[in-house]
Amino acid sequence: MISVTKEIFKYDNNFQKQYNLKKCLIDKNNIQNNFPVINVVGTNGKGSVSNLLSHGFQSKYQKVGLFVSPAFLYHNERIQINNVPISDEDLMRHIKNVEADIKKYSLTFFEIWTLIAINYFVENKIDFAIIEAGIGGRKDATTVFENQVAVAITSIGLDHTEILGETVDEIIIEKEMIAKENAVIFVSYDSRSHINKIKNDMIYNEVIYGEKGMNIFSYQRNNYGLAKTILNYYGIDEDTIKDVKPPLGRLTVLRKKPFLIIDGCHNEDGVTKMIKSLKTIIPTTNLKIVFATSAQKNADVMIKQLSKLSSQVFLTEFDHPKSWNVPEQFEDKKVDWKEFLDDNKNNNIIVCGSLYFVPQVYEWYMKWVGEWTDI
């Protein structure tokens, strides 16, 4: 498996005004439409719902593709068949195969990954695919899939506002407009307040309300409910996902005595859900929080949210170009996260924030303790 810290292909842009993956695929006879897909969009919960659906649909189809982002530890995680990540050899071979396309069509980072996934899925003749959006929906690279049977909309909140819009209504439009005509739209119970807007906007689509899930972890409850609603619609027994655990970095318990928990709550909605769930897992008295976020996120708001949970909120930076630099106004709260964790082994701690940061903590801890335990 290839670490996410390793650069494995060259590209010029993350974002640009003109996206060209569709042009590339037209020249390839629209091979992305060789298999039916469910597109998964939303602010939070996309990875969890995609993971659940990919497990469930394996009871109906022999080969189920899964495309998710971001990768947690290894690049290979992004592209899977029957929940088995693409091998190093296949990944590097497919990267080499798209080098000419990257240059010819000036593909962005996420377009490149989407193209590699499509080529790999076509090569392996998959029967069905679950496709998680990167950012938004309408302009996301994953909108190229036209053989779309359904769209799953998870919880919706403010995130990537510089790209998707400043209001929730603007963000909803970006998410829902990935839906092709006649595709069924399934909306999470978390987004129940937006159901009428979605129905009014998407008059050519059947819109189905996801059930309220009963999973023990409140932060995953409605992800399970949405997945169950979709599976039941397609005649798949919900028991196929009853034992499926959330992906790493979603309130993952690394240690229990005392608690050390990591969570990738990288936006306001994610922090709210994390706090609500955390209260059901551990005593929050004397809880210490280590938080790091990416640049362009609303750090002030998230820090205020976390401060209501604990008076001991510490801020840190991490080794990544997108890391938020802690400003002088928070200098008294700034810590080196490795030293802090090493010095506070006897305290209940949650490390949270950016999905670029949390994997670094996980890897550091694994080297230190050797094994992790989930609840």
What integer pLDDT is reported at residue 196 of this predicted model? 83
Where on the phi/psi map is residue 250: left (φ > 0), alpha (ψ -120 to 50), or beta?
beta
Expressed as residue numbers, the domain containing 293 is 252-369
List the chain pLDDT tens, one digit each, 375 residues: 999 889 898 877 666 667 899 999 999 999 999 999 999 998 888 999 999 999 999 999 999 999 999 899 999 999 999 999 999 999 999 999 999 999 999 999 999 999 999 999 999 999 999 999 988 667 889 999 999 999 999 988 644 444 454 566 677 878 888 999 999 999 998 888 787 888 888 878 999 999 887 655 567 888 999 999 999 999 999 999 988 988 888 889 898 888 999 999 878 888 988 888 887 777 778 899 999 998 877 899 999 999 999 999 999 999 988 899 999 999 999 999 999 999 998 899 999 999 889 999 999 998 876 544 443
Same domain, 174 and 213: yes
**How many domains does the chain contain in total?**
2
Q: Give the amino acid at 41.
A: V
Q: DSSP E strands: which ranges in the chain?
A: 37-41, 64-67, 79-81, 84-85, 128-132, 148-153, 184-187, 207-209, 252-256, 259-263, 288-292, 312-315, 349-353
Same domain, 228 and 269: no
Q: Around Cβ 193, how many Cβ atoms within 10 Å?
A: 9
Same domain, 275 and 235: no
Rounded to whole angstroms, the Cα distance separating 237 from 371 reads: 33
What integer pLDDT is reported at residue 323 of this predicted model? 92
Of 241, 271, 286, the last residue of a domain is 241
Q: Is 123 inside a domain boundary?
A: yes
Closest CA to 323 of 334, 312, 309, 339: 334
What integer pLDDT is reported at residue 371 of this predicted model? 44
CATH number, residue 273: 3.90.190.20
Tokens of 235: 């005649």
What integer pLDDT is reported at residue 185 of this predicted model? 94
CA atoms within 13 A on the CB side of 311: 2
Q: Is 374 inside a domain boundary?
A: no
Q: Is 129 inside a domain boundary?
A: yes
Same domain, 187 and 54: yes
Same domain, 257 and 225: no
Same domain, 159 and 75: yes
- Which segments of 207-326 does DSSP mark as H helices, in order? 218-233, 268-278, 299-309
